[in-house]
Structure 1
Amino acid sequence: MQFTPTQKSIAAWGAIAAVFVLALWLLAPVLAPFVVAAVLAYALTPLVDGVDRLGRGRIPRALLVMLVELLFVVALTAIVLLIVPILAKELPQMRDQLPLLLQKVSALLQPLLTQWGFQVALDMESVKSFVKTYLDTNFQDAMGSVLSSLKIGGSVAFSLVGNLVLIPVALFYLLMEWEKLVGLVRQLIPPKLRPPTDAFVRDADAVLGQYLRGQLLVMLLLAVYYSLGLKLFGLDLALPIGVFTGLAVFVPYLGFGLGLLLASFAGVLQFSAEAGLMHTAIMLVVVFGAGQVLESFVLTPRLVGQRIGLHPLAVIFSLLAFGQLFGFLGVLVALPVSAVLLVAIRRIQTGYLASHLYRG
């Protein structure tokens, strides 16, 4: 059976793509910091170019890159530091309220356990001593436990610290050499394929830009929603928890889970002596339940999915599929990669409909 040059070309590119995907799958842990740096470089390059245009090319590129990267790190650090006022207020409350809360739970459960033949006595003095030891304002004991756990999982801690150092370094060089890297990749493409490839890259770039703008809008709207929703229920830490939850939804599931956990602790500690646990439970169900529905079925499909042309079911499927294949890294890149694949599928479909194979 003889193959045409077009068929050979398609087979060759298909083999290259298969090898590339296999390499990504095998080297996912090693490539993770470089992929994160590349995604950040793609997102931050327009900002660097914009500042360069404002400076009319008089500012050295290295200084611009360091300035933009510093601003990004400061913004990211500010988001992380939203947790600090939460912990600063919750830990003293936990130290004071946790023994009382456990005493209430014990008083509620002991009659039921007694009916079932279980005799359980809660030693409140031991509980208070335990809480005082581990939740004192002097965090030396807690830090000792953390350091001990880091020694046990030294490889994990080393990997985490290594990634935190490697990502900014890789990001700096990628921002410095982004145009050169794009030009180098373009030179590897055969001259006959460069015009359609350039058109594909322009379409993909437009779709990814729409994705980033849509995702940013979703984050801002959810930050406002969670802050107002928690405030309406009287939560003192509504603003930091709401803003953190809204901005952290950029990481699907993890951001929502962390926000829910922080709100649960804050609600239990604040309302346990006043309105009881029922008020906290209602707050979590109403605010976070409605927020998850709002994010999954309204905001993300309409502001992200529609902007990149993905059906809501396709958005959900892409998150699950990429998460299954590539883990946490796959969840991060699921939607932008799906957007690029959608552009490729549309071009293949257009070419197929215009070909003699379709026309018969």
Structure 2
Amino acid sequence: MAVVGAGDPVFVWQLRPMFALVYRFLKAVFAPFVIAIIISYVLNPIVRMLGGRRVPRTMAVLLIYAVFLTGLCVVLMNVIPMFVEQLEELGEHLPELTLHTQQMMNRWDNGILPGSIRMGMNNWFYQFENRLASAISGFLDNIGTTIGVVFNAFIIPFLIFYMLKDIELIERLILQYLPRSRRKSIITLLKEIDMALGNYVRGQLLVCVIIGVLAYIGYMLIGMPFALLLAGVVALCNIIPYLGPFLGAAPALVMATTISWKMVLLVLLVNMLCQTIESNVISPQVVGRSLHMHPMLIILALLIGGELAGVPGLILAVPFFAVVKVVIQHFYAYYVRRKAM
């Protein structure tokens, strides 16, 4: 009887369900910590600024915390009902919009495209409608369950508070476990990474919010249906460099084709104005060239990240490559110094 060894591929494949279970467990446990770390990283400079003005750190954290949570609650209380309402309306009108799009494309490609291709496109639209309707229905049905995860909703604010309040203590504890001979070099490396990522992460989040608001105002002015949903897509996609504006504009353009060609031109105009303002006014002031990465390197990072991890890879690719770039530069400088000695 053959014995399956621990290094055998068959043995590893048989353990896949266990790995999936462990992954889901770790994801559920560490997700609140990851979210809290990101929010703390964004808010910490404000706390330090208040601390520099002789405001006690605990008081500064409480002040920023109160303002942040109050603003978040006000936004969510006003935005979520509108978002759900527009999502329900989209689900109700989805068959009509799909049929209108198919009829318009049939009129446009009649006599141009072969019948087999038109049939394939119609099948694709039918499948797309069913999947989108199922996704919307599933989302709406699970809102109660999502909101019902009260534990995370309560634990994350407490984690953020203690991370902001005791971040200096956490830093000192971490430093105690670093080798004394390497401590200065590691601190320098971490400061360089923070300088490279700090302005970029905080700036990109602010830019996304501003672009989302501008897109929402623009869509409202031109009478675009589902303005909040479509502007939210623009804001979320804008976090992806270069590709984000095109991805964010695509749903609005598809929706506009079901209305009129005039609406398509107006949607194009709104998105072009938003991106012109973003690239020439907002980003230079808010983000600047904080990463000092060539556009070709950014595009390469996006291609690799998208291939490896899909949408999360597109979002995290540029910051990850920026960190790798800083680490390589740091160790190269260290190697040059050692070689010169």
CA-based RMSD of the aligned residues comes to 5.4
In 2: Cα distance, 1:321 partner to 1:108 partner: 34
In 2: Cα distance, 1:108 partner to 1:327 partner: 30
Listed as ranges, the gaps of 5+ residues in structure 1 are 1-22, 117-142
In 1: Cα distance, 2:278 partner to 2:92 partner: 35
Of 346, 349, 353 in structure 1, the residue corresponding to residue 332 of structure 2 is 349
Answering whether residue 45 of structure 2 is matched by residue 46 of structure 1, we say yes
Answering whether residue 60 of structure 2 is matched by residue 72 of structure 1, we say no
In 2: Cα distance, 1:108 partner to 1:284 partner: 19
SS in 1 for 2:55: coil
Q: Are the equivalent residues in 1 in contact too, given 2:215–2:270 (CA < 8 A)?
A: yes
In 2: Cα distance, 1:324 partner to 1:164 partner: 32
Seen in structure 2, the aligned counterparts of structure 1 residues 313 and 196 have a Cα distance that, compared at 3 Å, is: same
SS in 1 for 2:183: helix
Q: Are the equivalent residues in 1 in contact too, given 2:47–2:64 (CA < 8 A)?
A: yes
In 2: Cα distance, 1:254 partner to 1:96 partner: 27
In 2: Cα distance, 1:65 partner to 1:284 partner: 42
1:235 aligns to what? 223
The offset of 1:229, in angstroms, is 5.6
Of 306, 309, 319 in structure 2, the residue corresponding to residue 336 of structure 1 is 319
Answering whether residue 293 of structure 2 is matched by residue 310 of structure 1, we say yes
Q: Deviations over 1:153-208 (max 9, x none)?
A: x7xx5996654444333222212221111111111111111222222222222222
2:169 aligns to what? 180
Seen in structure 2, the aligned counterparts of structure 1 residues 289 and 250 have a Cα distance that, compared at 3 Å, is: closer
Seen in structure 2, the aligned counterparts of structure 1 residues 183 and 159 have a Cα distance that, compared at 3 Å, is: farther
Q: What TM-score comes out, normalization by structure 1 length? A: 0.58
* Aligned AA (1:312): P
Q: Are the equivalent residues in 1 in contact too, given 2:237–2:244 (CA < 8 A)?
A: yes
The offset of 1:316, in angstroms, is 3.0
Q: Are the equivalent residues in 1 in contact too, given 2:245–2:275 (CA < 8 A)?
A: no
SS in 2 for 1:191: coil
* Aligned AA (1:311): H
Answering whether residue 236 of structure 2 is matched by residue 248 of structure 1, we say yes
Q: Identity over the aligned pairs, expressed in percent?
A: 24
In 2: Cα distance, 1:279 partner to 1:176 partner: 54
Q: Deviations over 1:268-323 (max 9, x none)?
A: 7xxx6xxx432333444555578679989x99799858321222232233344445
1:281 aligns to what? 264
Q: What TM-score comes out, normalization by structure 2 length? A: 0.60
More deviation in 47-56 or 157-166?
A: 157-166
1:114-133 equivalent positions in 2, closer than 5 A? none
The offset of 1:73, in angstroms, is 3.7
2:6 aligns to what? none
* Aligned AA (2:236): A
Seen in structure 2, the aligned counterparts of structure 1 residues 90 and 349 have a Cα distance that, compared at 3 Å, is: closer
2:120 aligns to what? none
In 2: Cα distance, 1:340 partner to 1:108 partner: 46
The offset of 1:346, in angstroms, is 0.9
Seen in structure 2, the aligned counterparts of structure 1 residues 260 and 160 have a Cα distance that, compared at 3 Å, is: farther
SS in 2 for 1:307: coil
Seen in structure 2, the aligned counterparts of structure 1 residues 312 and 331 have a Cα distance that, compared at 3 Å, is: same
Listed as ranges, the gaps of 5+ residues in structure 2 are 1-21, 116-135
1:101-250 equivalent positions in 2, closer than 5 A? 157=146, 163-212=152-201, 214-216=203-205, 218-219=207-208, 222-223=211-212, 226=215, 230=219, 234-235=222-223, 244-245=232-233, 247-249=235-237
* Aligned AA (1:188): Y
SS in 1 for 2:178: coil
2:17 aligns to what? none
Q: Are the equivalent residues in 2 in contact too, given 1:241–1:262 (CA < 8 A)?
A: no
